[in-house]
Amino acid sequence: MLLGKRWSLWRRLAAMIAGTVVVAGALSACELSVPNVVGLALPEAVSKLEGSGYRHVAVVDEFGTAIEESHYEDGFKVTAQDAVGEGVSTSSTITLTVAESAVASLVMTPDESPSATPEPEATPEPEVMPEPEPASEEPQEASDAPEVEEEPAAPAPAPQPVRAPTQMYSSCAQARAAGAAPLYEGDPGYNPRLDRDKDGVACE
């Protein structure tokens, strides 16, 4: 009798334990909606996931290197996550990919559409400048100045003949001083008084 009661007690205890395990498993396997945390700072993204019931979060950089929790405040920003939306168990590990804020701003998030790549501006073709015209020919050299013909030197004037005095020489000394001696009859200045021998020649 006592043995039967103990057996019944064990059966109830086992049923309670099994029920507790089932309930715990159901709660742990509860499926919720994973929020989209792309674009948020890493600390804010982790807090948002944990607030939604997802406490298993792994963080890696763009190269797949794990980021320790002690570096969550180092300015990282979430650029991608491996799960989002409904149907994800709260026991699942949500993996976030992060990058430094300066780099993350250049990474396209899943909800963003690729922006059109701006076309490079056309480089204006350099304007072809006309070649300068060649300089005008050098002015012709000034023609040689006409040679000035030297006028022949005027001939020295012929010595004027000594004009004979209109009067007769009064003496042979005067005639000789004038270069007129001897005086011939008919010469200017002839004085018959100076012709002593009366041969027609005075001041011989």
162 is a domain residue: no
Domain boundary among 60, 89, 110: 110
**In this structure, what CATH number is given to the domain that contains residue 68?**
3.30.10.20
Domain boundary among 110, 128, 158: 110
44 is a domain residue: yes
The pLDDT value given to residue 98? 95
Which residue range(s) make up the domain with 177? 172-202
Record the pTM: 0.39
Domain boundary among 110, 132, 164: 110
What is the full per-residue pLDDT of the chain (204 aa) written as tens digits? 555 556 666 677 777 776 564 444 444 446 679 999 999 999 999 999 999 999 999 999 999 999 999 999 989 999 999 998 888 998 999 999 999 876 555 544 445 444 555 666 767 677 767 676 766 555 555 455 556 666 666 666 665 554 444 577 788 888 888 887 787 888 888 888 878 888 888 887
pLDDT in tens, 70-121: 999 989 999 999 998 888 998 999 999 999 876 555 544 445 444 555 666 7
Q: How many domains does the chain have?
A: 2
CB-based burial, 145-159: b 16+ in 10 Å, e otherwise? eeeeeeeeeeeeeee
The pLDDT value given to residue 23? 45
The pLDDT value given to residue 131? 72
